[in-house]
Structure 1
């Protein structure tokens, strides 16, 4: 699989170099995490303006929006908030693990009618390098550019259940460079909604699955350093998908570190032991919500973590003990 590494490997002229149009989405609970993501993105944007399009529901207070806007302006960016009424999401499948906000991104072509392309970033990731090369990637007529999702051995057959030709066909939607003009021309938002309404209850990852089904064949594969998922550090399948060199680069020098998954996969969870967890806290401290109340901080989890650390320090056998 040929991987687009950004501007240097795009094979075309730089596209739309005025400012990076960056979209994100969250509900009230995820706003502090989204703020940390935005701070990280703008921290690496010296010399390149950012225009932020923040999609949110009615539950986000005006004061929280003001605080985020102040942070963005201090970093030299501009921001607009786009409220998504509940009626726009009504009927779309919502699960215990995914909020209504997961559906906001599929409406971007309609919500931003005067924007040609946008870079969408999930709230649970941190940028570690300039996003300019990614922004200037030549999409070559595709709807989106995205990194192939890495599956564990127990769910590697899931893409086939969606009708996709191979596991490598399935992409992760946490980082999406989207050609909104192309998507508008082909009424992709309508197609995505229809797919979700018809099949969403059977989907494991409702919005992501719908995008993979509807946008199949019109996705440009990206180098994994643009979405260095936790699964990339965990599963050996990464090497088979991306090759050893690309996998190694994405692990050692990611441009975007994505803490996908639930529970202890998130850096703000007490039991999280994911690679590069600390970068989340570095940027969270610079947001309007610098203090982090860790999820999962319970007596049972404190004991579990203590037991885990003790086990790692104990010798594996008598022969391991130094004399």
Structure 2
């Protein structure tokens, strides 16, 4: 697409727009000289928000391509307040994005990009639908529980950062199969979009190193222990590409207790300047 080199996908509603601004600011600051094409899948995001992103991308030298949801694609999709239609977006991105796109990095808006993304973009995952990381932790208890719950043998992969092979996705990912799975397993889906990724496509996921590409910001002590002290704060700042603020506790809310909350607050201030919102 034009002269842009790395494709980034985000999906969100208007409630997460401030976090999108923070994530994009961190992306720009820590990928100097890199060109991005930003794709935004949305369902009627307010026009002023789209205009703000378009203006920011223009100033950053990025391409911006908003894609409004194709309602016809989701006409038969099971949806409710617990299962909003947005949960399907990242899994069906191959069907909603331009057909000339082959590869995409999906990022949740509650992430920070603190080092270059090109090594992730250039990861060789030939033959795999997705690249994703599992948050196994030290004891792997949650990982094992999710395996048992979904009756799968592979690790339980987090869906907040995905490297996507869109060309393969158009061949292998069928919307009707996803909708049927939701209809048949409604009572078993705890984290719906993540459960769907694992239950239907877990065997087609190339494992990424979570310490590099989907670092769970709550689990600093686990990373430190499992690396025998190697993955300290200095290592994270020098090597980790993506910090992910998983779970209900969020660093933009009061009372956040985890180690990288101050770093997130720093990028919040930088984002206010970057998006012209100071004062």
User: Scaled by the length of structure 1, what TM-score is found?
Assistant: 0.73
Q: Please state whether the residue corresponding to 1:217 is helix, strand or coil.
A: helix
Q: Please state whether the residue corresponding to 2:109 is helix, strand or coil.
A: coil
The yes-or-no answer on 1:279 pairing with 2:230 is no
Partner in structure 2 of residue 229 of structure 1: 216
Q: Deviations over 1:197-241 (max 9, x none)?
A: 3223321110101011111221111112211013432557982xx
The yes-or-no answer on 1:72 pairing with 2:60 is no
Partner in structure 2 of residue 173 of structure 1: 159
Give structure 2 stretches of 5+ with no counterpart.
none
In the TM superposition, 1:294-309 aligns within 5 A as none
RMSD over aligned Cα atoms: 2.9
Decide which moves more: 138-147 or 222-231. Answer: 222-231
Q: Deviations over 1:29-60 (max 9, x none)?
A: 111111211221122222221000011112x2
In the TM superposition, 1:245-284 aligns within 5 A as 249-250=235-236, 253-262=239-248, 265-284=249-268
| Residue of 16, 23, 28 corresponding to 2:9 | 23
Measured in 1, the distance between the counterparts of 2:236 and 2:106 equals: 19
- Change beyond 3 A, Cα 1:189–1:44: farther
User: Scaled by the length of structure 2, what TM-score is found?
Assistant: 0.84
Partner in structure 2 of residue 55 of structure 1: 41
CA contact (8 A) 1:149 1:170 kept: yes
- Change beyond 3 A, Cα 1:154–1:271: same
Measured in 1, the distance between the counterparts of 2:223 and 2:240 equals: 17
Measured in 2, the distance between the counterparts of 1:39 and 1:77 equals: 12
| Aligned length, in residue pairs | 267
CA contact (8 A) 1:24 1:123 kept: yes
Q: Deviations over 1:135-183 (max 9, x none)?
A: 11111311111111236746742221211115xx111011000001111
CA contact (8 A) 2:157 2:202 kept: no
CA contact (8 A) 1:223 1:246 kept: no
CA contact (8 A) 1:126 1:280 kept: yes
